[in-house]
Each structure stands twice: as structure tokens, then as C-alpha cells.
Amino acid sequence: MPTLTLLPSGKTTDAEPGTRLLDAILATGEKIVSKCGGEAKCGECHVFIQEGRKSLSKMQRAENEKLDTIPGVGSKSRLACQTLFGTENVTVELLGFGSGL
Ligand code: FES
């Protein structure tokens, strides 16, 4: 089972392939805001994928369009509510409040 590692806390959890990244982050006990309930509408669950990007689910249109509206988005950006685990370990950087969202 792949392991999720969070930065900067270093917290980890195991996640079955197909698990939503948002749910896996919450399973570590870390807090992440999801105002829209995982509908790719609020952008609050924006994270940077530092490792393991290729094994994650492909970006769909709704996520792509929302990311386009968020300042500070880069090539490592994903919305945690729209991203599903694959089979490889993933390292995610959480972006704290005030990170430009
Ligand atoms: S929880 Fe709102 S965009 Fe992901």
C-alpha cells in the first residue's frame, strides 16, 4: 500500500489506491480546509505534490479550471479533493493559510 507523507509536519499514513488525497490527509490528523465539500469549487484544498505525481489520478477539467483561478499555482499543484492515489508513495506539501490562495 502506498504511503502519504506530509510536509512540513512529516506525518504519514498508508492509503489504498483510489483513496482521495483529501481523505488521506485528514487521516493523518492534519487539518485541511474543504469549504466546498470536495466539489473543486473553493480551491482551499490546493496542495503541492513534491513526489509521486505520476502515479496520481489524471487531472480532470473541473480541477484544471479551478486551479487556473488560484494565485501561486505551479506544475506541482493539485486539488486534494480531486486527486486519487495510485500505487506509489506520495509526498505532499500543505500550503498554510495565507499562502496566496
Ligand atoms: S475542497 Fe473545495 S476545491 Fe477541493
Q: pLDDT by residue (tens digit) across 9-57?
A: 999 999 999 999 999 999 999 989 899 999 999 999 999 999 999 999 9
Fold of 3-94: Ubiquitin-like (UB roll) (3.10.20)
Distance 37 CA to ligand 1 centre (A): 6
46 neighbors 73 (Cβ within 8 angstroms): yes
Measured from CB, residues less than 6 Å from any atom of ligand 1 are 34-36, 38-45, 66, 79, 81
Report pLDDT digits (tens) over 49-75.
999 999 999 999 999 999 999 999 999
**Atom 3 of ligand 1, residue of closest alpha carbon:** 40
Alpha carbon 82 to chain centroid, angstroms:
8
